[in-house]
Amino acid sequence: MAFPWASATATGIGSLPYDDRDEAARVVVGELPDLPHLPELPERGAGADLVGRAATLLVDLHVDLQPSGWRLIDRPGADERRAASLLGADLDALEIAAYGYEGPLKVQVAGPLTLAATVELNRGGRAVGDYGARRDLAESLAEGVRAHVADVARRVPGATVVLQLDEPGLPAVLAGSIPTVSGFGRLRAVDAVEAETLLGTVIGAAGAPVVVHSCAADAPVGLLHGAGAVAVSLDVDRLGGGVLEQLAAAVDAGLALWPGVVPALPPSTPPSDRELAQRVVGLWRRLDQDPAAMAARTVVTPTCGLAGAGPGWARRAYVLARTTARAFADVAAGSG
């Protein structure tokens, strides 16, 4: 398939260590000119986090914030309104910074399984432990995501929106390792077929190409591809043998790969773009693919979000991702 991003490009995962939305938008658009994204700024507090932002997109479901985290409630309240206001302000800042932009533009939303594993039911307990709640959350999120993608497309009319679903909690949901309220037990594992269906509900409603991001070492790549994702975004440092086997099969079937190779935290000795490019080449070779032929499916990213990095490293990491993508294109072209 044809992908909306350019060959051997770069983007960010989402979160940044800023509290100024205008500065964050300028950094993203300026340093990632080929595939910018909507910044997430969790330093601003509750509602600016991944789960709070996704919860505000829910249609006909409402949330508030408790000491234990976000909880489903019957009617909208102050916490939900604050989260929605923060998201609106972030979109305003991106609309200004990306004025006149034409090309792919990424937005990030927590996926349905991670959201269900984090949000609590009104009566207590994680929503992921209730079959009906899992289904209702996925369907509600699907409607909200459809409207969110359409809103971004309206605000930046030259953009082709790409949706990133963040699913760091999915492996734990599948493994049955989400703790109960008491902490002494674990919720029953969600069947892989059901998980794929729930994820597919959101992907199918998006009206945009979907990439699924997971920092987990055991990301279920086959399930993600089966649900309709056109790409997966993974931390290359954490890829084990089982994931590589699934990834190789999915790549053979047309899946794109967004390799996370740029450190999310400032290392004592920052790697060069050439070194990181060689890692991407090596990964494609481990998957029995010609790196040059895979350039169109390659989007270089940091290993994870940059909320824990300082502003200086965040900007430098984006520059390094961009130059690594260019170095990868050069190295792959010359590698035969």
Q: What is the DSSP letter of 272?
A: P
Average pLDDT over residues 16-37: 96
Classify each residue of 125-149 as buried b or exposed e, where b means 16 or more C-beta atoms within 10 Å of its C-beta: ebbbbbeebbbbbbbbbbbbbbebb
Q: What are the structural domains, with CATH classification, of the chain?
A: 9-334 (3.20.20.210)
d(CA 287, CA 291): 10
d(CA 52, CA 233): 22
CA distances from 258 to 80, 232, 234, 316 (A): 32, 6, 6, 19
d(CA 197, CA 194): 5
Question: Residue 149 pLDDT > 80, yes or no?
Answer: yes
d(CA 236, CA 78): 40
Average pLDDT over residues 89-106: 97
Average pLDDT over residues 226-232: 98
Q: What share of the chain is helix, strand, coil (3-state, %, to 5)?
A: 45, 15, 35
How much of the chain, in percent, has pLDDT values that exceed 70? 99
pLDDT at 254: 96
Question: Residue 336 pLDDT > 60, yes or no?
Answer: no
pLDDT at 123: 85
Question: Residue 1 pLDDT > 80, yes or no?
Answer: no
User: Phi and psi for 104 in degrees, rounded to 5?
Assistant: -70, 145
**Alpha helical stretches, state H, the chain:** 21-31, 50-56, 78-97, 112-118, 131-155, 170-175, 192-205, 221-226, 241-252, 273-286, 311-334
Q: Residue type at 131?
A: Y
Question: Residue 253 pLDDT > 80, yes or no?
Answer: yes
Average pLDDT, the chain: 94
Query: What's the angle, vertex CA 333, arms to CA 328 and CA 336, rounded to 5?
Result: 120
Supply the pTM of this predicted model: 0.95
Average pLDDT over residues 315-321: 97
The SS3 assignment for 51 reads helix
pLDDT at 335: 63
Per residue in 286-306, pLDDT tens? Answer: 999 999 999 999 999 999 999
d(CA 48, CA 36): 19
